[in-house]
Amino acid sequence: MATPKTYVDIEKMVVKDVFDSKYKTSLPQIMQKAAEKAVKSSGKLTLDQPKDKGAKGYTIDGSLVSLGPDKSGKQLQGECSMAISTWPGKSIKAMPSGKAGLAIDDPGKIAAADVQAVAEAVVEAAMNAATKYMEKNTP
């Protein structure tokens, strides 16, 4: 019999600091999709809420800590932090984070695609640690 998958509830992501406020509304959705993709690619985790009353799982809260050009203006860098807590109890179990960067030519001409790529990369980096934790530990 197959082992039941562990449920993962991904809360709405938040953006703390981004170099251009025009991205503040689009980034949470981009981050959400990247986190969901990581859960879907795991054979042991699921986004489908269990029907059993006593079922347990995990909740992920994520935050884009920062995203913007570095001091040299040669890289677009980002950082994401997450909290993994039990579901439904909300007892924090782990705090993975992720960082990523992308080479840029001109900090004044950063494309939306570059911003999206860095946001996805930081979430992916944090979710790598998060999925490993959730796969190895029962809630």
Owner of token pair 């911003």 = 115
pLDDT in tens, 88-124: 988 999 999 999 999 999 999 999 999 999 999 999 9
Q: What is the pLDDT of residue 1?
A: 45
Percent of the chain with pLDDT over 70: 99
Grade residue 4 by pLDDT with cuts at 50, 70 and 90. Answer: confident
Query: What whole-number distance in Å separates Cα of residue 51 and Cα of residue 56?
Result: 11
Rounded to 10°, the helix 27-40/112-136 angle is 40
Domains of the chain: 6-136 (3.40.50.10610)
Residue 3 pLDDT > 80, yes or no? no
Query: What whole-number distance in Å separates Cα of residue 108 and Cα of residue 20?
Result: 11
- The CA distances from residue 58 to 39, 41, 72, in Å, are 11, 16, 39
Structure tokens at 63: 């935050």
Q: What is the pLDDT of residue 2?
A: 60
Grade residue 52 by pLDDT with cuts at 50, 70 and 90. Answer: confident
pLDDT in tens, 58-95: 999 999 999 999 999 999 999 999 999 999 988 999 99
